[in-house]
A = this chain, B = another copy of it.
Amino acid sequence: MHFAQIYVPGLAHCSYVLGSGDKCVVVDPARKIKPYLDKAESFGMDIVGILETHLHADFVSGHMDLAEQTGAEIYAPEIAHCSFSHTALKDGDEFTIGSLRFKLLETPGHTPDCAVYVVTDLERGEEPVMVFSGDTLLVGDVGRPDLFPDQEEALAEKLFDSLKKLKDLPDHVEVYPAHGMGSLCGRSLSAKLWSTIGIEKKQNYALKRTDLAAFKEDLLTDMPPAPDHFARCSEINRQGPEQLAHLEPVKPLDVAQVQEGIDLGHVVLDTRSYLAFAAGHIPNSYSISLEGNLATFAGWVIPPEKDILLVLEQERDLPRVADALYSVGLDHISGYLQGGIVQWINAGAKTVHVEPVTVDEIQSYIDSNETVVLDNRAKSEWKDGQISGTTLAPTPDVRHRHTEWDVEKPIVTFCNTSNRSMTAASILKQKGFKKVMNFLGGTTAWKAAGYEIEPREEA
């Protein structure tokens, strides 16, 4: 048996290549499929199967590209009702590739279409040895059941039952989930990217619950918000996404072409560092730095129907930026500004900026009645420790909550670095705020400078 986990950092996504003899399968592939092709080649194996555990909500999957390029069969749970050509499996269905026997167990809960694959290596024995647990069982966590607000109670109950199927597996079975720490598909995922049934039974809060009510209380309280693209990506994955290989290469554009795109209603996405963005950017740009969590935040805040114009730190960033956007289904990139922002500035075109506020200056803004100071971190981080006198406003919420504050008043944003708060600042500028400032380094700088931060229950 040859086995490899392929981890996609921007999405905290785990995918797998597993094979025996000269054949292998890929489990839950990311949209960029080259790593799977390379790994299979290094194993000396052909990819003959593509296993989807469920319709991923947080990224667009590479099953169509991979099937097209390898001729492999796609396997998916029947309950996912996929539109593309595939082998639909029901609870208990089995198939064998080489010496490997795969058995699907339906495990609805995280979403209605979730399943897991239990694997037996017939070369070594009849006992199951691993389970691809998708978003059902994660290391230290389970897949959140609240993505469909009107079904969350029902899904939480289903999840409770589905986890029993996993608890019934022997302790020695290895657990390979679809996500690790950083994913919004759960709340407290471990940085360790795999585990065993026995460890999780003993150490995972959700598996330890035997009482349904308490389980539901755990699972439906204080969940992090679900990004906007979660519903969108599921549906794209069900239909079968456009193949990456069919997309046009992203074109270089000169200043006039970028201006033309803006006039046509395209949005500008600026992926430079937050400092460079602060000092000068195209009006109405979105700041989402490549150094931050580009894929998730772009999927979350960029309107998916819009064409995207890119401003890059340097041209060589393009492949990474495009991959991040494609990974969340933002396929319409109309081009990038050739020569970067310096071309725009030198062309005499208009720029705007965000004023930096340093750690030794922020207290005076907090103390001022004239200034609003927004904490753009997630609620969970905020609960763990706050800067007194600031207002919780997670970055994505700023899109809707901006009316709470006066556009005429100075407004300062911060997070734990400055990536998310610069995204928030860029949104506030789009909304007409006259004086937008950013607290450089946010809570990280605040704590390092020795100022006080305390966990609190209420805002």
Residues in A lying within 8 Å of B, measured CB to CB: 1-3, 124-125, 127, 129, 140, 170-174, 190-193, 195-199, 201-203, 273-276, 278-280, 291, 341-342, 345-353, 355-356, 358-360, 417-418, 440-441, 444-450
Interface centre among A195, A199, A353, A444 (most CB of B within 10 A): A199
Residues of B within 8 A of A342 (CB): 273, 291, 417, 441
When the two chains form the complex, which single residue of B199, B202, B348, B356 contacts A351, counting CB atoms closer than 8 Å? B356
Asked if B358 and A351 make an inter-chain contact with CB atoms under 8 angstroms apart, the answer reads: yes
Whether B3 pairs with A127 at a CB distance below 8 angstroms is no
Contact of A276 among B173, B279, B448 (CB under 8 A): B279
Residue in contact with A196 in the complex, picked from B3, B196, B273, B440, CB distance below 8 Å: B196
Most buried by B among A129, A291, A341, A450: A129
* Docked complex Cα distance between A450 and B356 (Å): 30
This chain: how many copies in the complex? Answer: 4
| CB atoms of B124 and A203 under 8 A apart | yes
B341 & A2 in contact (Cβ 8 Å cutoff):
no
CB atoms of A351 and B276 under 8 A apart: no
Question: Across the two chains, which residue of chain B brings its CB closest to A274?
Answer: B279
Known: A275-B280, A279-B275, A345-B440. A170 touches B191 (CB 8 A): no
Identify the closest chain B residue to A360 (Cβ): B350
Provide the residues of chain B in CB contact with A441, threshold 8 Å: 342, 345-346, 348
**Which of chain B's residues has its CB closest to A9's CB?**
B42
A369–chain B nearest beta-carbon distance, Å: 24
Asked whether A346 lies within 8 Å of B196 as measured between CB atoms, the reply is no
Q: A174-B196, A192-B1, A280-B275 are in contact. Are A359 and B353 (CB under 8 A)?
A: no
The winner among A201, A291, A349 for most chain B CB atoms within 10 A is A349
Q: Give the distance in Å from the alpha carbon of A199 to the alpha carbon of B120 in the complex.
A: 11
Known interface pairs A171-B172, A342-B417; 9 further A-B residue pairs with C-beta atoms within 8 A, sorted by A's residue number? A124-B199, A172-B172, A172-B196, A273-B342, A275-B279, A276-B279, A350-B359, A351-B440, A352-B358
Chain B neighbourhood of A417, CB < 8 A? 342, 346
A196 to B360, CA, bound (A): 52
CA distance A14 to B203 in the complex (A): 27
Which residues of chain B are near A345, meaning CB under 8 Å?
A: 359, 418, 440-441, 445
Chain B min CB distance to A397 (Å): 24
Instruction: Check A2 against B351 for contact (C-beta < 8 Å).
Output: no
Which residues of chain B are near A1, meaning CB under 8 Å?
190-192
Closest residue on chain B to residue A354 by CB atoms: B279
The answer to whether B191 and A356 have CB atoms under 8 Å apart is no
**A172 in contact with B197 (CB, 8 Å):** yes
* Residue from the set A125, A440, A447 with the largest chain B CB neighbour count within 10 Å: A440
CB-nearest residue of chain B to A342: B417
Q: Distance in Å from the Cβ of A120 to the closest Cβ of chain B?
A: 11
CB-nearest residue of chain B to A201: B172
- In the bound assembly, the distance between CA atoms of A359 and B344 in angstroms comes to 11
Residue from the list B203, B347, B418 in contact with A445, Cβ < 8 A: B347
Closest to A353 in B: B356
CB of B348 within 8 A of CB of A275, answer no
